[in-house]
Every structure is written in C-alpha cells, then in structure tokens.
Structure 1
Amino acid sequence: MRQIWVDGTVIRGHGVASGQSNASPYPAGTIAMQQPYFAALGLDLTGLHLATINFDIQPAQWRLLQADYHFPAVCWTELHPPEDFSFISCQLLWQDQAYAGYIYYPHPATKIQHFQSPSMVELLLPWISTISYGAQARLSYRPEQIQIQAAALL
C-alpha cells in the first residue's frame, strides 16, 4: 500500500477528548466515554491513549474519502444527539519513530460543538511522552483514504 506523508504541527485542542478542559461536561474525556461503543462496533482502541493529538497541516486542508471504520448515529451521551464517526489508519513520525493509530473524525454534520478547522487532523495514537505543543512531525496516510490539498483547491 502506498503511503503519503504530510508535515504538520501539534497544536492545543479544546481539551474535551482528553477530559482536561474544566469547561467540559465529560470529566473522563469523550474518547474514554466513546471507546466502549466503538469496541462493540468492532474497533479496538487498546494500546492507544484515550485523547487526541491535534495535528495542524495548514495551509493545506483535508477531507475524508474512505474510512477503515465508519459508525453512523453513535449515541454515546445523553447531552446531545447521536454522532457519526470515521477512523482512518495512519502513522505519526516523531523523532525517527513511527506511531501507528487512527485519524479520529467525528463528522461535522453531526458534531454540534467544538468546531475543528479543516486543516486540523485529530489523531488517536499510543502515548508519546516526548511530544508537545509546537512539535513538528509527519503524518503518513493512504491517498485513497484522505485527500490533502492546498485550501484554495478543495
């Protein structure tokens, strides 16, 4: 399978996926709450840190073409309507080491809070103790699964 690499920067997110935001109604974090639903649907997140790394590829933007997993109408909380989720296999290259995981994509049409820029990719990966905000890294993906282009071309 052919892999393509895109450079980006680790940026601060809303802190909701990890549960770090004091304003979040999900103290355990949304990923920890969603994990049992994803497991029941066939996606095992064992070995991945239950928070996202926010990876900014600006000025480029990305869009989903074909997911490894797509789960429509997941009702994981009573605080808002069900959401659609997709997961795309990827690797993050950081300090000469590759970390395998997924692009985590709550579909914007069903996600009513916490808008994400189309240049920002949310990653579910193993814990990486040395990575921090501002880190420059590379994301590997399969071109048949996502499209990354300059913002003016999408």
Structure 2
Amino acid sequence: MNHWQVVSGVVQQGHQIASGWASDSPYPKGSIAMQMPYFRALGLDLFDLFQGTLNISIHPATFVMQQPTYTFPKVAWTVAHPPETFSFLPCQIVFQSYAYQAFVYYPHPETKQRHFQNADILELLAPPIARINYGDRVELALNPAEILIVNPDEG
C-alpha cells in the first residue's frame, strides 16, 4: 500500500501548447494529442484523460522526481525538435471534495527545447473536471517514493 503525501496547490494557466489552445501553438491539436499514441505504444494508455495539462502551482514548495512509475526516454513524437524524455506517476487530484485519478506529466527539461515550467508547477493529465478554473485550490495526493515535495517552510 502506498504512503501518500498530500500537498495543496492552485490551478494556474499554462502555455496552452499541450491542449493546442494557444494562438501561436505549433501543434494545432495540441502536443498531448500528438504524444498519446506514442505513450500507448510504450505501455501507458492515457486516452481517457483530457488532451491537455492541468497546471498546479504548489508554491512555495517545489518538487524533485524520484522514481516515477513510467519513464520513456527519447520519444520522437514530432519532427519539429529532437526526441524528448517523459516521466509519469499516478496521483489523485481532489477538487470540491471529489478525488480524480490522474498522472503527473513530466517532460524532462534537459530534453525540452521550449515552454518550460517553473519549479513549483506540476503538470497533470486528468479526466475532464467540471467547473475547475484558474485560481481554484486543489489537493494533490502523491507517492513520495516517486516524487519528493520540497517545502522551504519545513526543515
């Protein structure tokens, strides 16, 4: 049985590249829609989830990937840039007292060329969540063996 760590966060607007909603997105259908077939072929089926990321700020805390459930090195999902490495770990997002099964989506920054996230932003792949908006508070349940939450207020 996993020991879950709960961390509070706030929904933030991202770059909107993952969903394809950005007016200048190089991927009109979104990068997640383009990546999902590759992840499925590698053993992780995410097609039941929203094809975009939910960006959660855990500020002032940050995070460090430990041993995520899935890591897919050098995925060549587009010809627009070199292959990227992605990690995923299951989590729960609690919004308005309801828990949703989700995944932390982590494109490794060392293989990414643009659209970087701040160190306090966790990107989630989750099912559609009705009435969730930017600025809403959520709770995340994470496995500390997979991801370490670093809180500067502790220690």
State the one-letter code of the partner of 1:12: Q
Task: Find out whether 1:26 has 2:32 as its counterpart.
Answer: no
Equivalent residue, structure 2, for 1:85: 86
Structure 1: unaligned runs, 5 residues or longer: none
Q: Distance in 2 between matches of 1:5 and 1:152?
A: 15
Map residues 1-154 of structure 1 onto 2, 5 A cutoff: 1-151=2-152
Identity of paired residues, percent? 48
Could you tell which deviates more after superposition, 42-51 or 80-89?
Answer: 42-51
Q: Give, in angstroms, the shift of residue 150 of structure 1.
A: 2.4
Q: Distance in 2 between matches of 1:82 and 1:39?
A: 16
State the one-letter code of the partner of 2:27: Y
Task: Give the match's secondary structure for 2:110.
Answer: coil
Q: Which consecutive segments of 4 or more residues in structure 1 shift more than 6 A?
A: none
Q: Give, in angstroms, the shift of residue 7 of structure 1.
A: 0.2
State the one-letter code of the partner of 1:76: W
Say what the alpha-carbon RMSD is for the aligned residues.
1.2
Task: Give the match's secondary structure for 2:26.
Answer: coil
State the one-letter code of the partner of 2:21: Q
Q: Distance in 2 between matches of 1:19 and 1:41?
A: 23
Q: Give, in angstroms, the shift of residue 130 of structure 1.
A: 1.0
Q: Distance in 1 between matches of 2:35 and 2:56?
A: 21
Q: Distance in 1 between matches of 2:50 and 2:149?
A: 25
Q: Distance in 2 between matches of 1:95 and 1:77?
A: 37
State the one-letter code of the partner of 1:67: P
TM-score (norm 1): 0.97
Structure 2: unaligned runs, 5 residues or longer: none
Q: How many residues align?
A: 153
Q: Distance in 2 between matches of 1:38 and 1:115?
A: 21
Q: Distance in 2 between matches of 1:35 and 1:46?
A: 7
